[in-house]
Structures are given as C-alpha cells and as structure tokens.
Structure 1
Amino acid sequence: MLGLLVIIVVSWVLLHFIEKKSIDALGIIPYEKRLIQFLIGLFFMMLVTFLTIYIESVVLTVDWQLKSPIDYTLIFKSFMYHLRSALTEDLIFRGAILYILISKLGAKWALLISAAAFGVYHVFSYGMTSERFVPIFYVILVTGFTGYVWAYTFNKTKSIMMALGFHLGYNLVMTFFYTSQPYGELLFTELSRINVSELNGLYYALFKGLFPSIITLAFVKFLLLFDLKLFIIKQQT
C-alpha cells in the first residue's frame, strides 16, 4: 500500500510540474462514467478469459476439478490483492509517464514505448532473465501487445479505469484456475491434459497469449464507434 501511495504522489508531482495538470488528468477519480468504464472492462475481460480457458479445455482436453468447499474469503483477498497490483502497474505504465509521452511525442510513439516497457518488465517480474531467447521473446510479444491495447484504451478513454478493469479481470480469473502466488487455483484444480507436439504447443501458446488482447482491442474500437460520449471524459485541470 505504501508503494502505491508513493507512485500516486510521484504521478501528481510529474503531472503538476511538467504538464501543469492535476492527478485527475489520468482519469483516476471514480466518477460515475469512470466506474462504468471500470465495470465494463472488468466483466468483459473476465468473460474473454473464461472463454480462452474453455477453448484450452476443449483443445487440450483439460480435466478440471471444482474445489469444495470454495473459500470466498480467499477470493475476496485475491480480488483486493490484484486490484492493488493492477493499479500499481497501470499507474507506472499507463499513468503519468504515458500521459506525458503522449503530450510530448504523440500517441503513436508513446503507446509503443509503453508497450515495450511493459513487455520487458514482465521478463524481470517473471524471473526469466536467464531463459533462452524464444521464451523471452514470447513474453515480450504477448505482454507487450497487451500493454499496447491497454495503453490505447487509456489514450482513447482519457481515463485509467477501463484498462484497470481489463487488467484486474484477467489476473483474477487466472487465479481461479492456475497456480499462482500468493493466490491460485481458487476455484478449480487441473487434473490432466493431453500432450501436444512442441510446434503445436507453440501455436496454441501464441493463440492463448494474443487472443484476449486482439478481442479486447476490437471491443474497445467498437465501443468508441458505438457511443463515444460514454468513454471520453473531460479532463480536470
């Protein structure tokens, strides 16, 4: 929590002295429309992640066992933990620095820089610095493209909220099914799956990694065309 507070203070300082803007330039204060953005992002990404896991279960014949009893207290703790961690990462990669980069360099270059930084960051956060080139490239590609889509969402909506919903929704659903720290396998435990060739495994890994972000990008573009007024919020100075 202290780290998050420090990031918020640093963000305020950067925006105040470089852009002459308040912290709300990031669209972080939860007005009604921003809460709608957050909830749309959260539930959409949860749906997409469930769909991705369902496809994996069919393609790889994954057998899941539902946990009993379900620990709802643990699920709530996971929700709060991932809300804090997602907000922390979003403020770093899709916060004040991205806002300033967009202002100074334009959206095209700012989004690419943010995406590249997000991808490289995950190589270190996953502890993959000693891995071979292919796994490192895969992580940078997948997480970098994800970061690009979320940065694009921030730029178009003028708010951190929808991308935060995407981020939280994905991380939360993944903890329902897969081993993770500090929370994992909250609803299901994997019992078995079929083995596939290395090449087919690579193809599927690319699909699993890129499919959610491709669908999300298309979804955001559709929403912006459908009702622009819902997602563009006048920034406060």
Structure 2
Amino acid sequence: MLGIIIALIVSWIVLYLFEKESILCLGFLPISKRAKQLIIGFCITAVLCVFTQISVMLLKGSSFHLSTNYSLNLLASMFWWDLRSVLTEELVFRGALLFVLIERLGMKTGVLISAAAFGIYHWFSMGVFGNIFPMIIVFIGTGLMGYAWALAFAKTNSIFLPIGLHLGWNFTFNTIFSKGPLGQGLLTETGGSLISDWFSLIGLWVVPLVVLLIIKYWIPTELTEQLNLKTNTSANTSNVH
C-alpha cells in the first residue's frame, strides 16, 4: 500500500511540474463511466485468460480441480496482492509519465515508449535478463500487451480501462488458475503431458494481439467524440443564425 501512495504522490508532482495538472487528469472522473470501463476491461482479459487456460488444458490432457486449501480469506488476500501490483505498475507505466509523453511527443510516440519500457521491465521481473532468446520472446509479448494498455489509456483519456485489463488477466491467471507467484488459489491443475514451449505463446503473444485489436477497433476515442460533439454543436449554432 505504501508503494501505491508513493506512486500517487510522485505522479502528482510530475504532472504539476511538467503539465501544471493534478492527478485527476489521469481520468478519475466521471466515476460511473470509469467504473464501467474498469469492469469492461476486467471482463475482456478474464475471458481471454480462461480461454487460454482451457486451450492449454485440452492440449495437455490435464484437468482443473478446486484447491484443497482455498478459502474466501485466501482468495481475498490474493486479490489484494494482484490489485496492489496492478495499481503500482499502472501508475508507473500508464500514469503520469505516459500522460506527459503523449502531451509532449504525441500519442503514437508516447504509447510506443511506454510499451517498450513495459517490455524491458519484464526482462527483470520475469528473470530472463541475459538470455537473449527469452528476452526477445518476453519483450514482444509484454511489449504488445503494454502497447494495448497504453493505447487504451490514450483512447479513453483514463487509467481505468488499463487497470481493468491488467487486473482481469492477473487475477484470473494468478488467483483463479494458480499460475502466478502466489501459489495455490482457487483451482489446481493435475495430470496431463508435457507440450512444446511454443504453445506458451498462446498467452504471451496471441492474447496481447487480440486485446490490441479490441482496443484499436472497438474502444472509441474520447477525444474524437468530443471533437465531433463540438463540430455538431457549432454547426447547429450556425444554422440557427
């Protein structure tokens, strides 16, 4: 929790120093709209994660069962861990710095820099730094996902859709399917045979591409909507005169 508070304070300072803005410029308002975006993002990646895990399960011939030690308290604590890690990463990679980059360098450049930074960060968080081939694989996969989430920020002018997308994947992967660093969550995988490591690219490369396509073609750009609204308003005013 302390890390989140520090990230918020640093974000506010960066935004004020570079853009004379408050933390609210990261799109906290209106609350109802942002909550809806968060839920939509969560559902998108949660469904994709379930599909990915079922696909791998069928390929391996394994099965999932309820963990013997799961409890509501355990799931709540795991969710809280997922939420804290997501909020921290989003404030760093899709927060004040991305806002400043977009304002100073434009959306395309800002999103690309954010995506590259996210990919490089995962060299260290996933422990692959120094191994060239895994570094390439991880950079492409996490960079693509970082690009999709940064684009979501740019199109909605808010951090809430990226938070939802990030949390939906992490919670489902870590807590529901027990695949992350937290140990057993709700489900445990048993049985099955080994499959090629290439099938791991389903989750690492295919899912980010699907998310990117959804963000690119399904999520509307709020700035465009605002400009269209202003144009229509101006046109109506002109017709009145």
TM-score range, shorter chain: 0.7 to 0.9
1:152 paired residue number:
151
- RMSD over aligned Cα atoms: 2.2
The 8 Å contact of residues 63 and 190 in structure 1, kept in 2 or not, is answered as: yes
Measured in 2, the distance between the counterparts of 1:195 and 1:83 equals 32
How many residues align? The count is 226
Measured in 1, the distance between the counterparts of 2:53 and 2:114 equals 27
* Residues 9-28 of structure 1: pairs in structure 2 closer than 5 A: 9-28=9-28
Q: TM-score, normalised by structure 1?
A: 0.87
Q: Which runs of 5+ in 1 are unaligned?
A: none
Letter of the structure 2 residue corresponding to residue 146 of structure 1: M
The 8 Å contact of residues 49 and 203 in structure 2, kept in 1 or not, is answered as: no
2:216 paired residue number:
221
1:97 paired residue number:
97
Q: Which runs of 5+ in 2 are unaligned?
A: 228-241
The 8 Å contact of residues 178 and 185 in structure 1, kept in 2 or not, is answered as: yes
Measured in 1, the distance between the counterparts of 2:226 and 2:25 equals 10
Shift of 1:224: 2.7
Kindly name which structure, 1 or 2, has the bigger radius of gyration based on alpha carbons.
2
Shift of 1:66: 2.1
Measured in 2, the distance between the counterparts of 1:82 and 1:152 equals 22
Measured in 2, the distance between the counterparts of 1:3 and 1:79 equals 17
Q: Secondary structure at the match of 1:180?
A: coil
Q: TM-score, normalised by structure 2?
A: 0.86
Q: Which is bigger in relative contact order (C-alpha 8 A, separation at least 6)?
A: 1
* Residues 1-237 of structure 1: pairs in structure 2 closer than 5 A: 1-28=1-28, 31-68=31-68, 70-130=70-130, 132-175=131-174, 176-181=176-181, 183-196=182-195, 200-202=196-198, 204-225=199-220
Measured in 2, the distance between the counterparts of 1:161 and 1:43 equals 13
Shift of 1:14: 1.0
Measured in 1, the distance between the counterparts of 2:20 and 2:225 equals 21
